[in-house]
Each structure stands twice: as structure tokens, then as C-alpha cells.
Structure 1
């Protein structure tokens, strides 16, 4: 397969934003030596490297540490931006309590497993056993709880895990009750995330770069999921991974090889002559 590259390249890219799962990480959740070396070369050139992931702060930390990144981190798909060294919250968008209560109610009505992040902790109810498998995948510690026992219930991110037809019925209920008020995306085939309407990697990335005087045209971005679409469209050079779902690939401007084939590293090395 041929991967399209631009005919011309701006003289200076000052920042590059990377999704983790399905993009910078291989399917076994490792970072290849070539990818690590390539990121280090970009940093040596003075380029700002930004992690932009749906993961929580706790879950992304092993990768941030391995990559030796100290710039602001975009987590929860853009709902939160944090200082990498101090964990200061620069942005933190949460959903109002009535919305969160309804999300819990719908989980129970449709028997749809739910887990949710609140104040950077992962919670799930006893009937949501699938959340335990997500805990291992996301490398996040979790707490089993009755959501009704929480006095002030605000979620940074809620996620339903289940069959798509049931999830789509719940999505319709939420859209009817809160039109335009929520961000709703699939991150895996059966993982459906719900966040504040402004929780988008695109807005978070723009916020981070504005603090450093870096423009849209000076920015590279790589991703593979529905929650990457805004960021990929906004960046001066947005690159979609070959392993992305077809609905994401259909909107691609540029395509990098598969994440299990050092796709990010290979694309960057050709684009920037590393």
C-alpha cells in the first residue's frame, strides 16, 4: 500500500501531538525502539511533543515517563489538560450532576456496564464486571461503588461497554435529553465514551499550543480513532493510522502505516528526513 505524503513540507514544524493506543503504541501496548528513537530525535530538534489520549493521567504515566515528555498532557480525550511534572490541572471539564445521574440510570435500565472517572479515580458498580477487564487494559486502579452513595456526582468521562445496538439506544436517549450538550464517541468497537461537549482533543491541543505561541500550521498530529478526528482536521498536518476504522480513514488527509509496523516513526522519518 502506498501512503500519501505532502508534495511540499513547511520548513519548521514546532509541535507534534500523538494519540497513544493504536497510534504511538503497538497493539501489545509497547513502544518500539524505532518509535522511541524517533521521538527523541524530534525533541533534540526542539519540537514540542504532546500526548493526546483518551487515557487517564494514571494510565498514561508509564508511557509519558518512557518517552521523557514534560510538556502539558491531554487526557480523557481532551476533557483534562495537566502539567506533566506537577499534575496541576490547566483544564478540567466535567459533566453536570443531573447528566451523570441519568448516565447511571440508563446503565441500570438497559443493563449496560458502566464505569466512570471522577476526580481521576475510576469507579464502577457491582453489576459492571466488564469494567475489571478495562482496568487491566487501561492500567488504571478502580473502585467498586454504588454511584447513589456519592453525594456530589460529577464525571470527567463515563464509558459504556456492551453491544452496539444497546449502546445506540442509550445514545438516542441522551441525545434527546441533552441535545448538543455532550461529546459521545466510540474508542473501541464496544466502548462508548461520554464527556462534556467541549471535551475534544482539538480544543485541548489548541489551548496547549496557544500557551507556547505555536500555530496550527506548525503542528503535526497522529491518531486512529473517532476521538482523534477533530485534532487531525485542525492540525496543519493531520495523519491517520492505516489501522484506523474505515469511517475514520474515509476522512484522512494523510495515512501512516499500521501501528504494529512502526507507522508513526516510518512516516515521520520520511516526512522530516530523519
Structure 2
């Protein structure tokens, strides 16, 4: 089997539960890169939130790719060139923000390195029964600067790559269908974690972004190995010649994957690459 590219989800896949890339996994990926394989970071994070990892794994030296905002944007990791972009229209974005005012969620927008919110003190959700400062979590994970505005609805005058909503996991599980209902035919709506529910342009996912960007590099999806653990990784795993689920992936992800490797805490990526690349 010819492998020309490796696509990696971040949280729960590339990074362990301490949010770091272990030395074994890092070395396996750097060795693949040295062998001429293109590394791709594919995440719900904005591009700003991928740059530190891209540098750590040397994607910025080897023209790796950054699939950001769950697939609504793709950039060359070396040049920053925009390879693909499909944002939510202003009209649709404003409709989502207006609709979300009826729910107990915290909406967030990102522009470059800024995280736009309405109230920096309204920042607590509950995850698995424990309080979580979700604004600090998102800021720190993606290296963003917090920018408080009086109204996201009033501020939203340009197309948006995604609209992120955060909420207590049990609340989102009960209300996500109602949150998405008005937009089921016009936007893509999905969980990227049990406390994150996101809106992107219709038809956007990691697989669509890769199906556009890979051929420009002379890479066929059959030559792609993709790793993931969550609902938003399923289209990417289906697209890839080899779709790999982490041991900590949901059962839904494992069912569609071609194979299952160790968990994100067990160097599952390195385990599988040892098998595939020898």
C-alpha cells in the first residue's frame, strides 16, 4: 500500500489526556515526514490553534496542511497559503446567533487570533459533573486573545468559518436537535466534543476539505491514512484509504474505521504507523 499523507485529529487522537504529543508519537510522525509523507492536522480548531503543533511536528518546514474549523478552511503550513475556504454567510451566521439566544449555551466566534465573546464572566459549564471555565479552555487550547463585545449578533458583519457553542454536556445532549433544527437543510451542525456543538457551512467536514486539497498535491484519498476518535472524524475516516480509530474513540467511530489502534494515551498513532510503514 502506498501512503502519501497522514491526517490527524488533535484532541483525543494526536495529543494525550494531558494535551501533549508524546515523544514516541512525535518521532514516528517526524520519521514519516522525513520519508516524504505529508502530515495534515485536521481539527475543529481555528488555524491559529494548530500552529504550535504544526511547528512542533515540523509541518511548517515540509508544507504540511492545516485543516481548520472542522474543514471549512485549509492552509499550507509553510506559506500560510489558503488552499480552501468555505464560510457561513453573514445572513446564516446571524440567524444562528439569534436562534441560540434561546438556549443556555455560550457562543464564540474566532477571527485570526481573537476569540470573540459577549461576557468574559459567563464562562462556566459543567462537564461530567465538574465545573469548567470554557472560555479559558478555548483560549489556552488555541492560543487566542479574548475580545469581549456587547453583542455577537451586532458584531457579526462578515462570513464566519464556524460558530462554536459550548454548554454543559447533559444540556447539549438534550437540546442539540432543537438548536440545529432550523438549519438542518442549510448548514452542517455537529458535536466536536460532548460540550461543544458547532455550525459550519453546508456540506463542510474534514473529508470534503481533504477531497479538495489532496488532489492539488497529487495525492489520492486512497493514499491517505487518517486517525480520529470523534463524531466529526467519521467522514475523514471513511474517505481515507485507511481509516484508523483510536481505542478511546466512540463506538460509532470504531464501526466505520478500517482498524482500531491503541488509545491516545498509549501511543496509538505510533503503534499503527509501525505496522503500516514498517
TM-score strictly above 0.5: yes
Matched residues in 1 for 2:79 and 2:276: separation? 34
Matched residues in 2 for 1:171 and 1:28: separation? 31
Which residue in 2 is equivalent to 1:74?
67
Whether 1:172 and 2:165 are equivalent positions in the alignment is no
Matched residues in 2 for 1:118 and 1:97: separation? 14
1:246–1:151 Cα change, 3 Å: closer
Which residue in 1 is equivalent to 2:248?
243
Deviation at 1:38, TM superposition (A): 0.7
State the secondary structure of the residue aligned to 2:272: helix
Matched residues in 2 for 1:179 and 1:191: separation? 17
Matches within 5 A, 1:32-47: 32-47=22-37
Deviation at 1:128, TM superposition (A): 4.2
Report if aligned partners of 1:162, 1:190 keep a CA contact under 8 Å in 2.
yes
Matched residues in 2 for 1:144 and 1:128: separation? 11
Identify the match of residue 115 of structure 1 among 108, 112, 126.
108
Matched residues in 1 for 2:152 and 2:113: separation? 15
Deviates more, 1:96-105 or 1:145-154: 145-154
Whether 1:26 and 2:46 are equivalent positions in the alignment is no
Report if aligned partners of 1:217, 1:237 keep a CA contact under 8 Å in 2.
yes
TM-score norm. by structure 2 comes to: 0.87
Report if aligned partners of 2:226, 2:236 keep a CA contact under 8 Å in 1.
yes
State the secondary structure of the residue aligned to 2:92: helix
1:194–1:128 Cα change, 3 Å: farther
1:150–1:50 Cα change, 3 Å: same
Structure 1: gaps spanning 5 or more residues: 1-9
Which residue in 2 is equivalent to 1:143?
147
TM-score norm. by structure 1 comes to: 0.88
State the secondary structure of the residue aligned to 1:61: helix
Which residue in 2 is equivalent to 1:17?
7
Matched residues in 2 for 1:141 and 1:198: separation? 29
Structure 2: gaps spanning 5 or more residues: 124-133
Matched residues in 2 for 1:258 and 1:151: separation? 39
Q: How many residues align?
A: 262
Identify the match of residue 54 of structure 1 among 44, 50, 53.
44
Matched residues in 1 for 2:113 and 2:140: separation? 16
1:47–1:151 Cα change, 3 Å: closer
Matched residues in 1 for 2:195 and 2:162: separation? 16
Matched residues in 2 for 1:159 and 1:19: separation? 18
